[in-house]
Every structure is written in structure tokens, then in C-alpha cells.
Amino acid sequence: MQREKSRLPWLEGKPLLLWMVEALSAAGWQTTAVVGPESFAHWKAMLPADCAVLNPEPARGKTTSLACGVEKLPQDTKWILISAVDQPRLPAVYHRLRQAAAVQSAKIILPTSEGSRGHPVVLAGELRDELLALDENSQGLRGLLAARRPETYRLTDGDPPECQWDLNTPAAYEEALAWFQKHLPS
């Protein structure tokens, strides 16, 4: 993208990361946003108190961000939702995942759309140590999800596939933003 995805202008004139934190919080999730050193001061000032967590070495891979976020969680955390900032979802998805977590006994909850695994991922808090042990050599979260496939509940989210974006290009960002603006009330 050649610019920081978390600061992309999103809905209601808010930067993408702030919008996602607010959407997750409105769905009942306690949020933690892991950010790198170059933007930590900015997000610490902009996000709710104690929400921003520093990943001092993001270049070492996504698993370092996962570990920084998980380490901040209380030991008795029941469910952990993991989302990337470049994969915004409809607020209804965050609500449905929260509702599923309240009644499911599976260790992993994954939204699916037309049979494909989606994001964000919800994991039982008892998988905390496994999340902390992940590294890039073990395929990170993807490897954990593959190993725990039998313990996974697939939540059919019913959302159209066009709202399953990954904002990796300017074109994908523009398309997603236009779709969200058209389909979400202001």
C-alpha cells in the first residue's frame, strides 16, 4: 500500500484502526491493538486508554504481534479474537462471533463465506500458551488452525464474498471503502 494501513481514512472520517476498535468494542469485545514503534505514540494518544500495545520488533513477523497482544490479556481470558487491521468486517460479523463464543464449546470459531475460511478468528483462552509459542517457522496462526481443525466451529456468516476484503492494494482499499459506505448507515 506504500502507506500505513491503520491510518487509512475509513468510515465516519475515522482512521481504519480506530473504526475497527470501536466496532469490536460495540460488539462486546475488549480490544487490544498491537502497533509498531513508528506509530505507537500516535495510537496510544488516539485509542481508548490502555488499548495500544507496542510490538518493538514487528519486522520479525506477525507472530510477534500476536504474542504482544496475547501477553497483555488477563490469564482468565475466555475468548481471544484476532483480526488484522487490513481486514475490516461488517460490525454484524463481530456481533455474531461474540454470540457464537457465548454458546460454543469448540476451541476455535471461524466465520465462513461460501465455504471459505474468513476473518477474524476467535480462539478459546485456553489456547493462550500455544499462541505465545507460535513462530513464523511453524506457519504461525495458520499452522495452529490447521492442527486444531477438528476443534473448529465454522460460523456461516452469510455476508457476501465482496465484503471479505484484504486491503493490500489501493484498488482493494477503494473498492472496500465504497462498499462499506454504501452498505453501512452513517
The one-character DSSP state at 110 is: E
- Quote the pTM value: 0.90
Q: For domain 7-183, give the CATH number.
A: 3.90.550.10
The confidence score (pLDDT) of residue 177 equals 93
Please tell me the predicted confidence (pLDDT) of residue 73. 92
**What does 73-108 look like in DSSP terms, one character per residue?**
S-TT--EEEE--TT----HHHHHHHHHHHHH--SSE
For residue 185, is the peptide bond before it cis, meaning its omega torsion is within 30 degrees of 0? Answer: no
d(CA 162, CA 90): 11
Residue with cell 483462552: 125
Q: Name the DSSP letter for residue 55.
A: -
Look at residues 94, 100, 86 and name the one whose alpha carbon lies nearest to residue 24: 94
Query: What is the rounded distance in angstroms from the CA atom of residue 162 to the CA atom of residue 164?
Result: 6
Question: Which 8-state DSSP code applies to residue 9?
Answer: B
pLDDT tens, residue order, the chain (186 aa): 678 999 999 999 999 999 999 999 999 999 999 999 999 999 999 999 989 999 999 988 889 999 999 999 999 999 999 999 999 988 888 999 999 999 989 999 998 877 777 889 999 999 999 999 998 888 899 999 989 999 999 988 666 665 578 899 999 999 999 989 988 866
Return the amino acid letter for 145.
L
CA–CA gap between residue 138 and residue 131 (Å, rounded): 11
SS3 content of the chain, % helix, strand, coil (to 5): 50, 15, 35
Residue 157 zone, left/alpha/beta (φ > 0; ψ -120 to 50; rest): alpha
Supply the pLDDT for residue 77: 94
Cell of 177: 471503502
Residues 48/21, Cβ–Cβ less than 8 Å: yes
pLDDT the model gives residue 162: 56
